[in-house]
Amino acid sequence: MSLPQTPSFRLDGKRALVAGASSGIGLACAVALGEAGAEVTLTARSTDNLEEAVSLMTAAGQTATSFAMDVSDIASTQAQVAENGPYDILVNSAGLAKHSAAVDTTEESFDAVANLNIKGAYFLTQAVAKGLIAAKRPGSLINISSQMAHVGGIDRAVYCATKHAVEGFTKSMAIEWGPLGIRVNTICPTFIRTPLTEQTFAIPERVKWLKEKIKLGRVGEVTDIMGPVVYLASDASALMTGTHLLIDGGWTAD
């Protein structure tokens, strides 16, 4: 008898592109992939924080580079991915939220959120897939979605709509590219403590509500996403595609 071997979580020899990597979840994902051995390219609209992140990752023995990329600029994004790819791994953490009551949603706000969260995510995923297809290489493409892709939320009609859409195109792309060895999945976090969520966590009654909804009784930290992203990027999740990992502390268990 021979014992089965656990598939490797290592990413040595893999090239990863992380969009929205200047802070928060995106930066945590970039570090996690770098720790697992991937050569990581960090991107965001501004390079200010990226340069510091690359310096720190390099000092820690990781391989990291960066360049500015605005995911909502489709033509520029496609050109940059084509020039610098192919990438074996994509993590798209670029996203936007403009919360308001549904009756107060403006067309301007709707378009801003939808253009980045749906259109930008769609064509970035497409661009990385095109590079893999041309190179005849498998890959793992991961979009950072949200628990709000599976439930509704007060003041979050537009945000929920965009994240539901991400789940939809993820499934369709997974079906199309599965025979080519390209996997497409999402990570769906609950409320994560980041610079962008400071305003929410500054309201005591909102924090109380969050902790009541999250069955584990605490909000998320960026470190809660680091293990899952390595799992989805690696051979450990080789049979996973067209699905999602809910990192929500039990929010959606009701």
**Residue 229 maps to which CATH number?**
3.40.50.720
Phi, psi for 195 (deg, rounded to 5): -55, -30
Among candidates 44, 33, 22, 77, which has minimal Cα distance to 195? 22
- Catalytic positions: 159
> Do 71 and 46 contact (CB within 8 A), yes or no?
no
> Does any domain span residue 160?
yes
Residue 229 has what pLDDT?
Answer: 98
- Tell me what pLDDT residue 46 has: 85
Q: How far is CA 144 from the centre of its chain?
A: 3
- Asked whether residue 151 is domain-assigned, the answer is yes
Total domain count for the chain? Answer: 1
In a domain, 208, yes or no: no
What is the reported pLDDT for 48?
Answer: 83
Residues 6+ apart with CB under 8 A from 23: 49, 194, 195, 196
Assigned domain for 209 exists: no
pLDDT number for residue 203 = 83
In a domain, 82, yes or no: yes
Cα separation of 109 and 131, whole Å? 32
Q: Which residues of 202-219 are buried (b: 16+ CB within 10 A; e: fewer)?
A: eeeeeeeebeebbeeeeb
pTM, rounded to two decimals: 0.95
* Within a domain: 1: no
Beta strands in the chain (DSSP E): 15-19, 39-44, 63-68, 89-92, 139-144, 182-189, 244-247
With respect to residue 80, please indicate whether it lies within any of the assigned structural domains.
Answer: yes
- Quick check: 115 and 160 in contact, CB under 8 A? no
pLDDT of residue 207: 83
Q: Tell me the C-alpha distance between 76 and 188, whole Å.
A: 27
Residue range of the domain that includes 132? 15-192+221-253
Confirm whether 203 is domain-assigned.
no
From first to last of its 254 residues, the chain has per-residue pLDDT tens of 999 999 999 999 999 999 999 999 999 999 999 999 999 999 999 888 999 999 999 999 999 999 999 999 999 999 999 999 999 999 999 988 888 889 888 999 999 999 999 999 999 999 999 999 999 999 999 999 999 999 998 888 999 999 999 999 999 999 999 999 999 999 999 999 888 787 778 888 888 888 889 999 888 999 999 999 999 999 999 999 999 999 999 999 98
